[in-house]
Amino acid sequence: MDNNNLEQITFGGGCFWCVESCFNMLKGVKSAISGYSGGHKDKPTYQEVCTGETGHAEVVQITYDPTIISYEQLMDVFFFLHDPTQLNRQGNDIGTQYRSVIYYKDDAEKAKAEEAIKVSIESGRWAGTYVTELTKFDKFWPAEQYHQGYYNENPTQPYCSAVVGPKIQKFKKHFGELGMLNAE
């Protein structure tokens, strides 16, 4: 990967444990870091974000090489991994911290995000009205270290085995067939 060409995107699609582990498997992704964005408190903790009072969403910040994986491909994965029609929740995870949100850096990136939403709607993958927020990027706060690579370190933890694991298997099957995954 050419470090001079790297770009970043930040978005939230529910619990960051699911999203981060999948994006780290993709060819062209240098890193996917779990963290928090969109709130009003500097350096929030997981416990603070879980109260819903900081305004932050659980997000993943992805650093990627656009010569290997495109913004559009990343958006396709994003919309594959979560249900963008569920307001402030994903499955049993309920609260504003689990909202569907794309943080854009400029008008060009906002336009690409709007187009990605349109493409996803037209795909028919999800029935219902999309509630994905488009929000100007402000700050990203990395989550505590124990959240980074959480699924890989804790695959037998009950939430991971019941929720994250099946989502990862579905992801691996679909995107593996497309040749988008790194070799294990």
pLDDT digits (tens, 9 = 90+) for 138-165: 999 999 999 999 999 999 999 999 999 9
Q: What number is the average pLDDT over the span 54-76? A: 97
Which amino acid would we find at residue 19? V
Q: Verify whether residue 160 is a known catalytic residue.
A: no
Which among 58, 38, 48, 42 is positioned nearest to 138, based on CA atoms?
Answer: 38
Q: Identify the DSSP state of 105.
A: S
Which band of pLDDT confidence, cut at 50, 70 and 90, is reported for residue 2? low
What pLDDT, on the 0 to 100 scale, is given for residue 4? 82
Report the phi/psi class of residue 148: left, alpha or beta, with left for phi > 0 and alpha for psi in -120 to 50.
beta
Residue 71 buriedness (CB in 10 A; 0-12 / 13-18 / 19+):
middle
How, if at all, do strands 57-64 and 29-37 pair? antiparallel
Res. 183: pLDDT tops 90: no
CB atoms within 10 A of CB 109: 18
Of these residues, 15, 18, 22, 160, which one is catalytic?
Answer: 15
Which band of pLDDT confidence, cut at 50, 70 and 90, is reported for residue 1? low
- Print burial letters for 10-20: b (CB count within 10 Å at least 16), e (below 16): bbbbbbbbbbb
Which band of pLDDT confidence, cut at 50, 70 and 90, is reported for residue 24? very high
What residue ranges in 77-159 does DSSP mark as E strands? 89-90, 93-94, 100-104, 133-136, 140-142
Which amino acid would we find at residue 117? I
Which band of pLDDT confidence, cut at 50, 70 and 90, is reported for residue 3? confident
